[in-house]
């Protein structure tokens, strides 16, 4: 039976069609104006929208509503209220007011604030974000909101993103006016995040403490077969996976999430889902929902969806490719090279603005994807290194080089109107996407930022990109604004010449996975922030504080509070991993080692008793090696406890110190113990191990 997908699509979303049907005409117009231009929403409009929303929600089975927000935990949060309101007669009606729609007051004291909000001021506010549509999930009306403290500081990931979109739009519109584009009033950032994930069997998952508590395996010897045959990438979908993906697509479509592409990834049990791009703010909300529904739908199929960046040692981890571009309200993609010179000049300015932004704020870009999980991936020969560089492809690189060297205009008497006419028309999308090792690649009409981890909210990376590009454009504007009318082409040419000289160091078309590139990047003076604690230190540098405060993305207090929160998240993650490893060794693995070694010894003894002349040398070797491992791991348990105590103590005085101890003491210790355990695991029969091995986890679905 075929399903009516167009009818299904968006059926649980309070979208434009519903609004048009349900709202009085003037109210509909006022709301549209707010959504499109970000203008203030009057209370009478809010009241009218609330009535329509409630009516539609109740018709679709909703009994509750919730203000849905994205606190700094990295997850989404929600508090549910029912629509019921008592009447005099002891009955109830379903009620929802404009005030309840636009503002909520959840207790904020249990959300991370990095010291922004003293705990006695527990009030936090959620404010309706009309630019992201409300939807129904689990019989509840979900209202996307921003979350801030009593005094207005942002406590979430949406607020700074919205601020950055505004900053970029403002600077881009100014620049476009200067280039003669009076038709453009707003510029939107567009985002399409490609999401990778693993699927494992739920029953197997339930037997592993490390997967349950950390989302990744802390011990586990490699399976005989990994990804070396490269037979999984784009391979045929297995029935169980295919059923899951179908189900997931439908759940996503009901919420207007434009899931488009799905396929198997490189590693066994690894898959990818890519949506069609949307406005950044909506794309962020939709990616959060996608991750949530990936997990929920998996449960229905007896599966667990792992979104950790590195669930399994020795095979590829999961990332998220953030495709990003700029679109005008008139529908132009500003990163489209175009065909006519006039378009090209606009393209070159925006292209150069991005190059400059990434070079100037490579550290912030790295920070925007920092986290304990992603540290396992970056630089691990499966993902870009921690060095941020840009891949442009040969042709665009040549365009910029010829401008730099004045070859571009050399043959022409007048400088007018030839920018790009020679080279750009040859330029096609296909030439650009061959380099998969670059962390930031131009892919025809957009940039693809590939450093994100699979579980990362796409909010921060886009916020940083927007802010940095806004700053480039603002600086370019200052350089171009005095250009004589009619000489703009020449002025742009000179600007690009200066800018490319300064910023070409960030361009790299070669293989980003090699050791030579690491050396070369060092010579060029590029950042290589290998770990989260190293990266986060740069977050609060003067340069970065200046950028983010001048464009009103953050106040200085907000930046410092976020720095604390990010460090604390890192420390807590490593602490949980260390405690889990401790528990897993003590309660699962060591008893298995001991039981097996004991049995082997007993069997050898009875063999010897039965037949004194027989050799038991192999058994002795085996028991010795297992006993050695037992010793190392047992004393390792004490070391874990000691280092954990050091970390806790340091959190009292300096979160950065605590994070450094996690990085420099705990992680190497965990690695060493893992090596010993994995080596021993290969000697122990499956029946003795209380948890499933990599073979089972990776090849069972």
Residue 316 is encoded by which pair of tokens?
A: 């590829």
449 contacts ligand ADP (rule: CB under 6 A): no
Residue 129 or 448 with smaller CB distance to Mg ion: 448
Whole-angstrom distance, CA of residue 223 vs CA of residue 211: 17
Give the phi and the psi of residue 229 in degrees, each rounded to 5. -80, -10
321 contacts Mg ion (rule: CB under 5 A): yes
Whole-angstrom distance, CA of residue 69 vs CA of residue 129: 10
Q: Among 254-262, 277-285, 318-326, 531-539, which window interacts with Mg ion (CB under 5 A)? A: 318-326
CB 260, min distance to ligand ADP, A = 7
Q: Among 63-71, 319-327, 522-530, 662-670, which window interacts with ligand ADP (CB under 6 A)? A: 319-327
130 binds, among ligand ADP, Mg ion, none (CB under 5 to 8 A by kind): none
Residue 354 or 571 with smaller CB distance to ligand ADP: 354
Whole-angstrom distance, CA of residue 683 vs CA of residue 693: 13
DSSP single-letter state for residue 14: -
Whole-angstrom distance, CA of residue 164 vs CA of residue 170: 10
Residue 433 or 557 with smaller CB distance to ligand ADP: 433
CB 391, min distance to Mg ion, A = 12
Task: Map tokens 């207007």 to a residue.
Answer: 256
Q: Site for ligand ADP (CB under 6 A): how many residues?
A: 16
Q: Among 277-285, 317-325, 506-514, 515-523, which window interacts with Mg ion (CB under 5 A)? A: 317-325
Q: Among 221-229, 314-322, 489-497, 606-614, which window interacts with Mg ion (CB under 5 A)? A: 314-322
- The b/e string for 33-71 (b: 16+ C-beta within 10 A; e otherwise) is ebbeeeeebeeebbbbbbbbbbebbeeeebebbbbbbbb
Is residue 378 within 8 Å of 384, Cβ to Cβ? yes
Task: Map tokens 């927007």 to a residue.
Answer: 466
**Residue at shortest CB range from Mg ion:** 321
137 contacts Mg ion (rule: CB under 5 A): no
- Which of 160, 192, 338, 373 is close enough to bind ligand ADP by CB under 6 A? 192
- Which of 404, 433, 490, 583 is close enough to bind ligand ADP by CB under 6 A? 433
287 contacts ligand ADP (rule: CB under 6 A): no
Residue 11 or 333 with smaller CB distance to ligand ADP: 333
Whole-angstrom distance, CA of residue 588 vs CA of residue 208: 9
Interaction mask 246-275, ligand ADP, x per CB under 6 A: ----------------------------xx
Task: Give the C-alpha distances (Å, rounded to integers) separating 327 from 100, 132, 280.
Answer: 33, 17, 11
Which of 44-48's residues contact partners 24+ apart within 8 Å by CB, and which partners? 44/98, 45/98, 46/98, 46/99, 46/101, 46/102, 46/128, 47/97, 47/98, 48/23, 48/24, 48/98
- Which of 9, 277, 527, 691 is close enough to bind ligand ADP by CB under 6 A? 277
275 binds, among Mg ion, ligand ADP, none (CB under 5 to 8 A by kind): ligand ADP
* Alpha helices (H) along 487-614: 488-503, 515-523, 532-539, 542-550, 556-583, 590-610
582 contacts Mg ion (rule: CB under 5 A): no
140 contacts ligand ADP (rule: CB under 6 A): no
Residue 261 or 635 with smaller CB distance to Mg ion: 261
Q: Which of 454, 453, 691 is nearest to 588 (CA)?
A: 691
Q: Among 279-287, 319-327, 347-355, 529-537, which window interacts with Mg ion (CB under 5 A)? A: 319-327
**Taking the mean position of all CA atoms in its chain, how far away is CA 365?**
12
Concatenate the DSSP letters of all residues of 615-679 into one string.
--HHHHHHHHHHHHHHHHHHHHHHHHHHHHHHHHHHHHH-HHHHHHHIIIIIHHHHHHHHHHHHH
CB 436, min distance to Mg ion, A = 9
Is residue 213 within 8 Å of 338, Cβ to Cβ? no
Whole-angstrom distance, CA of residue 492 vs CA of residue 563: 38
Residue 489's Cβ-side half-sphere holds a number of Cα atoms within 13 Å equal to 15
Interaction mask 320-349, ligand ADP, x per CB under 6 A: ---xxx-------x----------------
659 binds, among ligand ADP, Mg ion, none (CB under 5 to 8 A by kind): none
Residue 648 is encoded by which pair of tokens?
A: 């806790």
CB 38, min distance to ligand ADP, A = 21
8 binds, among ligand ADP, Mg ion, none (CB under 5 to 8 A by kind): none
Residue 279 or 594 with smaller CB distance to ligand ADP: 279
279 contacts ligand ADP (rule: CB under 6 A): no
Residue 326 or 571 with smaller CB distance to ligand ADP: 326
Residue 192 or 420 with smaller CB distance to ligand ADP: 192
Sign of the alpha-carbon torsion through 658, 452, 199, 687: negative
Residue 22 or 321 with smaller CB distance to Mg ion: 321
Interaction mask 390-429, ligand ADP, x per CB under 6 A: ----------------------------------------
445 binds, among Mg ion, ligand ADP, none (CB under 5 to 8 A by kind): ligand ADP
| Strand, coil or helix: 213 | helix
320 contacts Mg ion (rule: CB under 5 A): no
Sites of contact with ligand ADP (CB under 6 A): 190-192, 194, 274-277, 323-325, 333, 433, 443, 445-446
Sites of contact with Mg ion (CB under 5 A): 321
């Amino acid at each position: 039976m075929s399903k009516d997908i167009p009818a299904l699509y968006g059926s649980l979303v309070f979208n434009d069609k519903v609004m048009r049907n349900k709202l009085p005409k003037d109210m509909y117009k006022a709301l549209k104006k707010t959504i499109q231009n970000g203008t203030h929403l009057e209370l009478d409009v809010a009241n009218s929208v609330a009535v329509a929303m409630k009516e539609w929600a109740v018709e679709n089975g909703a009994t509750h509503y919730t203000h849905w927000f994205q606190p700094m935990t990295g997850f989404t949060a929600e508090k549910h209220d029912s629509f019921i309101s008592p009447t005099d007669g002891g009955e109830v009606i379903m009620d929802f007011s404009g005030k309840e729609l636009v503002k909520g007051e959840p207790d904020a004291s249990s959300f991370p604030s990095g010291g922004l909000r003293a705990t006695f001021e527990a009030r936090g506010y959620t404010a309706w974000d009309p630019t992201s549509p409300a939807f129904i999930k689990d019989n509840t009306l979900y209202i996307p909101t921003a979350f801030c403290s009593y005094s207005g500081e942002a406590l979430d990931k949406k607020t700074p993103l919205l601020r950055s979109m505004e900053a970029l739009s403002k600077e881009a519109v100014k620049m476009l006016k200067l280039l003669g584009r009076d038709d453009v009033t707003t510029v939107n950032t567009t985002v399409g995040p490609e999401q990778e994930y693993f699927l494992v069997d739920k029953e197997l998952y339930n037997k592993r403490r490390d997967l349950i508590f950390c989302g990744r395996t802390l011990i586990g010897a490699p399976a005989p077969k990994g990804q070396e045959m490269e037979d999984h990438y784009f391979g045929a979908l297995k029935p169980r996976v295919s059923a899951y993906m179908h189900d997931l697509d439908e759940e996503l479509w009901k919420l207007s999430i434009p899931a488009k592409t799905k396929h198997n990834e490189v590693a066994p049990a690894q898959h990818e889902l890519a949506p069609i791009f949307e406005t950044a703010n909506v794309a962020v909300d939709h990616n959060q929902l996608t991750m949530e529904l990936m997990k929920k739908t998996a449960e229905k199929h007896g599966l667990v969806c792992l979104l950790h960046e590195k669930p399994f040692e020795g095979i590829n981890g999961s990332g998220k490719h953030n495709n990003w571009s700029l679109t005008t309200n008139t529908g132009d993609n500003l990163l489209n090279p175009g065909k006519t010179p006039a378009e090209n000049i606009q393209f070159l300015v925006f292209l150069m603005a991005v190059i400059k932004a990434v070079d100037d704020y490579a550290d912030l870009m790295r920070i925007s994807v920092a986290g304990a999980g992603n540290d396992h991936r970056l630089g691990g020969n499966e993902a870009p290194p921690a060095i941020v560089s840009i891949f442009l492809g040969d042709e665009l690189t040549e365009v910029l080089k010829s401008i730099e060297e004045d070859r571009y205009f050399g043959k022409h008497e007048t400088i007018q109107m030839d920018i790009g006419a020679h080279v750009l028309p040859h330029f096609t999308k296909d030439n650009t996407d061959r380099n998969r090792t670059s962390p930031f690649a131009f892919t025809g009409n957009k940039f693809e930022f590939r450093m994100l981890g699979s579980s990362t909210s796409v909010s921060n990376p886009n916020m940083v990109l927007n802010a940095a590009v806004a700053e480039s454009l603002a600086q370019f504007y200052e350089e171009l604004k005095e250009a004589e009318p009619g000489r703009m082409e020449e002025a742009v040419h000179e600007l690009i010449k200066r800018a490319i000289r300064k910023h070409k160091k960030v361009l790299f078309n070669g293989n980003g996975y090699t050791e030579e590139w690491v050396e070369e990047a060092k010579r060029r003076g590029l950042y290589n922030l290998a770990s989260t604690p190293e990266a986060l230190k740069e977050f609060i540098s003067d340069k970065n504080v200046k950028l983010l405060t001048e464009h009103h993305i953050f106040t200085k207090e907000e930046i410092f509070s976020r720095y604390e929160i990010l460090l604390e998240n890192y420390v807590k993650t490593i602490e949980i991993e260390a405690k889990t490893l401790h528990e897993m060794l003590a309660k699962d693995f060591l008893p298995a080692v001991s039981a097996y070694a004991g049995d082997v010894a007993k069997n050898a003894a009875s063999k010897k008793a039965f037949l004194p002349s027989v050799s038991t040398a192999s058994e002795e070797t085996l028991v010795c090696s297992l006993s050695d491992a037992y010793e190392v791991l047992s004393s390792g348990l004490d070391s874990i406890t000691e280092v954990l105590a050091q970390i806790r103590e340091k959190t009292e005085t300096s979160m950065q110190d605590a994070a450094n101890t996690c990085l420099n003491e705990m992680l190497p210790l965990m690695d060493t113990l893992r090596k010993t355990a994995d080596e021993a695991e290969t000697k122990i029969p499956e029946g003795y191990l209380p948890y499933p091995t990599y073979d089972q986890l990776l090849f069972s679905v």
